Amino acid sequence: MEKNSLHFYFKFTAIALLFLNCTKFGKAARGPSPALGKGTWQLLLNNTGVVAMHMALTHYNTVIMFDQIESGQSGYRLSHRHNGTRCRGTREDLEDSSCYAHSVEYDFLRNKIRPLHIETDTWCSSGSFLSNGTLIQTGGFGHGARRIRYLEPCAHGHNCDWKQTKRLLADDRWYSSNQILPGHDQIIVVGGRRVFTYEFVPRLSSNSFKSYDLPFLHNTYDKNEGGNNLYPIIHLSSDGHLFIFANRDSILFNYKINKVAKTFPRIPGNGSRSYPSTGSSVILPLSHSDLFERVEVMICGGAASDAFSAAQHGRFLPALTSCGRMEITGNKHEWKMENMPGPRLMSDMLILPTGDILIINGVKNGSAGSNSAANPSLQPYLYKPRKPFGRRFSVLRSTKIARMYHSSAVLLPDGRILVAGGNPNNRYIFRNVPHPTELRLQAFVPDHMDKKFDKSRPHNVSISSNGNDGVGYGKEFSVQFLLRNTRLRNVVFTAYAPPFTTHSISMNQRMLTLRCRNLVRAANGLINARLEAPPNPNVAPAGYYMLTVVNDGIPSVSQWVRFIHA
Spatial contact of 277 and 308, defined as CB atoms under 8 Å apart: yes
Cα angle vertex 415, ends 400, 328, to 5°? 95
Question: To 5 degrees, how large is the angle CA 234–CA 235–CA 241?
Answer: 105
Q: Which of 514, 447, 461, 529 is nearest to 25 (CA)?
A: 529
d(CA 225, CA 405): 17
**499 preceded by cis ω (within 30°)?**
no
Task: Report the C-alpha gap between 65 and 52 in whole angstroms.
Answer: 5
Question: Which residue segments constitute the domains of the chain, with CATH numbers given?
Answer: 17-33+457-564 (2.60.40.10)
Please say whether the beta carbons of 281 and 330 come within 8 A.
no
What is this structure's pTM? 0.93
Give the per-residue pLDDT at 10.
Answer: 32
CB 522 within 8 A of CB 17: yes
Residue 340's contacts (CB-CB under 8 Å, 6 or more residues apart) are: 300, 301, 321, 322, 323, 359, 381, 393
Burial state string for 290-323 with b = 16 or more CB within 10 A and e = fewer than 16? eebeebbbbbbbbbbbbbbebbeeeebbbbbbbb
- pLDDT score at 458: 95
In a 10 Å sphere around its CB, with 0-12 CB exposed, 13-18 middle and 19+ buried, how is residue 44 labelled? middle
Q: What pLDDT shows up at residue 205?
A: 62
Q: Phi and psi of 318, rounded to 5°?
A: -60, 140
Closest CA to 420 of 55, 162, 14: 55
Q: Is 545 helix (H, G, I), strand (E, B) or coil?
A: strand
Give the C-alpha separation, 538 to 493, whole Å.
19
Q: Residue 203, exposed/middle/buried by CB under 10 A (0-12, 13-18, 19+)?
A: middle
Instruction: Return the exposure string of 365-383: e unless at least 16 CB atoms fall within 10 Å of the residue's CB, then b.
Output: bbbbbebbbbbbbbbbbbb
* CA 260 – CA 78 distance, rounded (Å): 48
Handedness of CA 318, 216, 147, 96 (dihedral sign): negative
Question: What's the distance, CA 277 to chain centroid?
Answer: 19
Q: Among 310, 124, 316, 346, which Cα is nearest to 224's?
A: 310
pLDDT computed for residue 28 by the predictor: 32
Q: What region does 89 belong to: left with phi over 0, alpha with psi -120 to 50, or beta?
A: left
d(CA 140, CA 413): 29
Distance CA 112, CA 96 (A): 26
Amino acid 13: pLDDT = 31
CA dihedral 533, 535, 536, 537 (to 10 degrees): -40
Local confidence pLDDT in tens for the 566 residues of the chain = 444 433 333 333 333 333 445 654 333 333 444 445 899 999 999 999 999 999 999 999 999 999 998 777 777 777 777 777 888 777 777 767 778 889 999 999 999 999 999 989 999 999 999 999 999 999 999 999 999 999 999 999 899 999 999 999 999 999 999 999 998 899 999 999 999 999 999 976 655 679 999 999 999 999 999 999 999 999 999 999 999 999 999 999 999 999 999 999 999 999 999 999 999 999 999 999 999 999 999 999 999 999 999 999 999 999 999 999 999 999 999 999 999 999 999 999 999 999 999 999 999 999 999 999 999 999 999 999 999 999 999 999 999 999 999 999 999 999 999 999 999 988 888 899 999 999 999 999 999 999 999 989 999 999 998 777 899 999 999 999 998 766 657 899 999 999 999 999 999 999 999 999 999 888 777 999 999 999 999 999 999 999 999 999 999 999 999 999 97
Q: How far apart are CA 543 and CA 133, in angstroms?
A: 7
Predicted pLDDT at 488: 57
